[in-house]
Amino acid sequence: MDKKNHRFLRVNYKMYTTKDGVTKLVEKTDGFKPLTFYSGIGMVLDGFENGILNHASDGSFDFTLSPSEAYGEYDAEGVMALDKQQFLRDGVLDSTFIHVDAYIPLNDADGKMIFGRVTKITDTDVVVDLNHPLAGFTVSFKGTVLTDRDATDDEIQQFLDKQNAHHCGHCGGGGCHCGDGDEGCGCHGNCHGGDGGDGCGCHGDCHSGEDRDGCGCHDGGCCNKG
């Protein structure tokens, strides 16, 4: 295990995106279930972690990340048309999992699993956007730090051991179904944990507003390292 000063943090936050002059609240934690994470092990977005650490002693935070600091600039080359034949089952497209706005698991050239959003289905192709849903957005976070303390080596090692031992039962159709009764599922390398914190950000997809706490698979999905 890398020997460094890891922190254990619990925070409540609201997350806003801005693009083309329009700002929206896209995610917020439930006040009774804050986001918990250990610093320095890639549990959350680097820009989010650094912003929290820079303001932890203040007890509150308010910072903004540029697209390059957050989820990257939008890349038009990340949109590709895939042969529809590879998605057919017994000659029929499974519309339960393959439909517009569905997130589907794919393998890149190195065999690593990535997720893409279906944007169009034609007679011959399934068009998939591999960009993060928030690519190209400026992202702001406002909130409070509830806990900020040193994490012990044992805590970090136990978390890493749990992650290494975890097996995700099924990822598909934008959903996440975990086996072995584990609390968290890092289908896309996005997982919150610690002190009972669970969470699964299968793609960090944000679909929240003022009337809806949480995001995507579980609370805190957008801060996941995606």
Specify the higher pLDDT residue, 59 or 176: 59
- pLDDT grade for 167, boundaries at 50, 70 and 90: very low
Predicted pLDDT at 224: 66
Query: Smallest Cα–Cα separation from 171: which of 200, 134, 199, 129?
Result: 200
Q: How far apart are CA 127 and CA 106, in angstroms?
A: 13
pLDDT digits (tens, 9 = 90+) for 131-166: 999 999 999 999 999 999 999 989 999 888 888 876
Enter the pTM of the model.
0.68
Q: How far apart are CA 211 and CA 56, in angstroms?
A: 28
- pLDDT grade for 107, boundaries at 50, 70 and 90: confident
